[in-house]
Amino acid sequence: MKLLEDRIRREGKVAPGNVLRVDGFINHQMDIELMEQLAAEFRRLFDGEKIDKILTIEASGIGIACLTAQAFHVPLVFAKKSKTSNVSDDLYSAPVKSYTHGTVSQVIVSKEFLHEDEHVLLIDDFLAHGEALQGLISIVEQAGGVVVGAGILIEKAFQDGGKRIRGRGVRVESLARVASMSPEGGVEFID
């Protein structure tokens, strides 16, 4: 999506370790008008699909997932990275490795919020190695639900996550697919 690619070119910052910082408009400070347009694009891409719920993982994907859920008029559920006292013990869970943080979290969703035969659209801000999506897919499968697909704002297509998720037969729609990036050369996209 040219709108997102142009914004990344203007304001994104490439940091060492293949880190693309878009925290000025997506995942720390959010440009809500931009996010609404991105959510509308997910609505267009998945139009005609039966979608009962949107599922994301805390924290950076919640913003775009909220607006996408609003566009589809369905509830948003987000997987938590730690159990809090207000969450039931009746849970679906899956391990998710974070390359950014160098940790593995057991992400959880209360069984109260995902059910058998629900059609679930996964939404997230980034797709790199695919660990978060693998965990979310596992949670939907544990619930007996159907993964409709995954809407991703930015896919690092030079890493293996997109290939791995698509190899599982999951439809992945990424609004910006990064072919390469470096602090010196900036970001190049796949058309």
Per-residue pLDDT of the chain (191 residues; tens, 9 = 90+): 999 999 999 999 999 888 999 999 999 999 999 999 999 999 999 999 999 999 999 988 999 999 999 999 999 999 998 766 666 678 999 999 877 677 888 999 999 999 999 999 999 999 999 999 999 999 999 999 999 999 999 999 999 999 999 999 999 999 999 999 999 989 999 97
Nearest alpha-carbon partner for 87 in 109, 107, 105: 109
- What CA–CA distance (Å, rounded) separates 63 from 121? 15
- What CA–CA distance (Å, rounded) separates 153 from 34? 11
Q: What's the whole-model pTM score?
A: 0.95
- What CA–CA distance (Å, rounded) separates 147 from 171? 9
Q: Which domains does the chain have, with CATH numbers?
A: 2-189 (3.40.50.2020)
- What CA–CA distance (Å, rounded) separates 57 from 125? 10
Q: What token pair was written down for 22?
A: 């878009």
The H or E element spanning position 4 is helix 2-11
